[in-house]
Amino acid sequence: MRNDLFIDGIWVKSEKGGTIDVVNPATEEVFHQVAAGTADDVDAAVRAARKAFDQGEWPRMSGSQRGQYLRAIAEGIRNRLSELARLEVLDNGKPLPEAEWDIGDAAGCFDFYASLAEQLDNKPEEQIELPDDRFTSKVVKEPVGVAGAIIPWNYPLLMAAWKVAPALAAGCTMVLKPSELTSLTALELAAIAEEVGLPRGVLNVVTGLGSEAGQALTDHPGIDKLAFTGSVPTGSKVMAAAARDIKRVSLELGGKSPFVVFEDADVEQAVEWIMFGIFWNQGQVCSATSRVLVEQGLYEKLLSRLVEESGKITIGNGMDKGILLGPLVSAKQHKQVTDAVEAATQSGATLAAGGRRPDALQEGYYIEPTVLTDVPLESAAWTEEIFGPVVCVRPFATEAEAIALANDSRFGLAAAVMTKDDARGERVASALRAGIVWINCSQPTFTEAPWGGYKQSGIGRELGRWGLENYLETKQVTKYVTEARWGWYIKN
């Protein structure tokens, strides 16, 4: 397990920084320490990335050449899939099969952007039709420069891949700051980049606290673009920092995603998608299915099946076989989620299932899968992101009411609708104000499709070709193609 910083192609100690304890959320044991990078370390990393961008080969080589490096990184991740997945479980707590899924997805993300990098070479130049034939004009895409990426702890390597792969494909160089809670696989990603011979300074990884290393990165004048995933309050700070010197910024923030289930839906299908949507990754998912709206006629049946099935979820150490729900990531997160459940019941909500630490698990940051009903619309449980395995379920009477309730949120990341009536599914999907809408399912995520939110859930889109565009500037090149004088002061 690594603990140094990766700056300018070499592993270095933090100059003045201390260390951060790495805690196993399943046991509460400190099993490692990583460097608490400082503003000086961030400065060294940005300078290295700056040099690699301004003077290095990376932005100047062909897309296919960059693609080869990305494919080699994908291969490096795949070769170590099992080791990386185990590290992720130790660091984050998630069940091992989920971690294996994430690591496979991270490798797939590098492959996908390798293809897009290769395609950059073959794209025909986009010519612009001008109303004046003395000119020709074309549009070219160029890398935005040095990217600063700040990521959260819920999908540590996957969130890194979502930023590093498109940024490198575009020809950017970068500094990545992982979450202080889950830095281990980001350091391994740097090691893989080193192994495949990525040119020095192209990818730098600085571990550290958000308030120190994170803020230093957002404030650094050498950064051209900030790419952030995390909470709304931090996203707002990142955007304010970006505003000071007009850095490009993309934000992937929180959500309170609704799932509208109509009476004609198959109740067993609905229960499975709801449980996957809110208990997968312990509910620590930005797009988690946290508000379920059920048409009156199906409400009681669906609720009783959901409560029954929630009680069957196996809870325990993510390393153990057959576990579906691991611990939350940290003591702080555990307290936030249990406090939120308590505040919900105090505000009038009913605890239909879960809400407690399982009796058999007195160590580790565990909480049972939790189902809340009668949640007041103005309460925090209904309006705020809990980021844990807690779902609020509520009946509705009409399609219009369901849409109004679903859209009544400051978030707009994701939403879902379930019905056998195709026309209604499409109609409701188009009325839902969210960047991602699922019909008859909830949560499946594809590297090929755009990911991002409306409203306070963010700005910009990751994944797919949109993810690449995040790291590209648009340049017009306009040429005067006649010998004739322009004639501003001398008439032809």
Ranges within 255-294 binding ligand NAD (CB under 6 A): 255, 286
In this structure, are residues 328 and 334 in contact, taking their beta carbons and an 8 Å threshold?
yes
38 vs 215 by CB, closer to ligand NAD = 215
443 forms part of the interface with ligand NAD (CB under 6 A): no
Give residue 118's identity as a one-letter amino acid code: E
Considering just the CA atoms, what is the radius of gyration of the chain in Å?
Answer: 24
Classify 84 as helix, strand or coil.
Answer: helix
150 vs 192 by CB, closer to ligand NAD = 150
Binds ligand NAD by CB under 6 A, chosen from 95, 316, 389, 458: 458
Binds ligand NAD by CB under 6 A, chosen from 63, 210, 389, 467: 210
Closest CB 159 distance from ligand NAD, rounded Å: 6
Instruction: Give dist(CA 251, CA 460) in Å, integer.
Output: 7
Count of chain residues binding ligand NAD (CB under 6 A): 28
175 vs 413 by CB, closer to ligand NAD = 413
Closest CB 381 distance from ligand NAD, rounded Å: 16
Catalytic residues: 252, 286
Burial class (CB in 10 A: 0-12, 13-18, 19+), 374: middle
Residues ≥6 apart with Cβ < 8 Å to 424: 262, 399, 417
Binds ligand NAD by CB under 6 A, chosen from 185, 218, 338, 456: 218
Question: Which region, judged by CB under 6 A, interacts with ligand NAD, from 4-12, 110-118, 253-261, 469-477?
Answer: 253-261
Instruction: Report the Cα 315 to chain-centroid distance in Å.
Output: 25
x/- track of binding to ligand NAD for residues 165-194 (CB under 6 A): ------------x-xx--------------
330 forms part of the interface with ligand NAD (CB under 6 A): no
369 vs 412 by CB, closer to ligand NAD = 412
Instruction: Give dist(CA 418, CA 295) in Å, integer.
Output: 11
76 vs 283 by CB, closer to ligand NAD = 283
Contacts of the segment 122-129: beta carbons below 8 A, 24+ positions apart: 128/476
In this structure, are residues 203 and 9 in contact, taking their beta carbons and an 8 Å threshold?
no
230 forms part of the interface with ligand NAD (CB under 6 A): yes
Closest CB 148 distance from ligand NAD, rounded Å: 9
Binds ligand NAD by CB under 6 A, chosen from 237, 247, 394, 461: 237
Running DSSP on this structure, what letter comes out for residue 315? B
Closest CB 390 distance from ligand NAD, rounded Å: 14
Cα dihedral: 63, 64, 65, 69 (round 10): 100
Closest CB 155 distance from ligand NAD, rounded Å: 6
214 forms part of the interface with ligand NAD (CB under 6 A): yes
Binds ligand NAD by CB under 6 A, chosen from 67, 254, 277, 389: 254
162 vs 396 by CB, closer to ligand NAD = 162
**Nearest to residue 368, comparing CAs of 357, 378, 359, 360?**
357
What is the 3-state secondary structure of 365-396? CCCCCEEEECCCCCCHHHHCCCCCCEEEEEEE
154 forms part of the interface with ligand NAD (CB under 6 A): yes
Q: How big is the CA angle at 446 (ends 445 and 450), to the nearest 5 degrees? A: 95
Question: Which region, judged by CB under 6 A, interacts with ligand NAD, from 20-28, 213-221, 271-279, 356-364?
Answer: 213-221
338 vs 373 by CB, closer to ligand NAD = 338
Tokens read off for 224: 């051209």
Residues ≥6 apart with Cβ < 8 Å to 170: 117, 143, 144, 468, 471, 472
Binds ligand NAD by CB under 6 A, chosen from 111, 252, 399, 469: 252
Instruction: Give dist(CA 111, CA 165) in Å, integer.
Output: 8
Instruction: Give dist(CA 55, CA 53) in Å, integer.
Output: 6
Closest CB 322 distance from ligand NAD, rounded Å: 26
49 vs 402 by CB, closer to ligand NAD = 49
Binding residues for ligand NAD, per CB under 6 A? 150-154, 177, 179-180, 210-211, 214-215, 218, 229-231, 234, 237-238, 252-255, 286, 385, 387, 413, 458
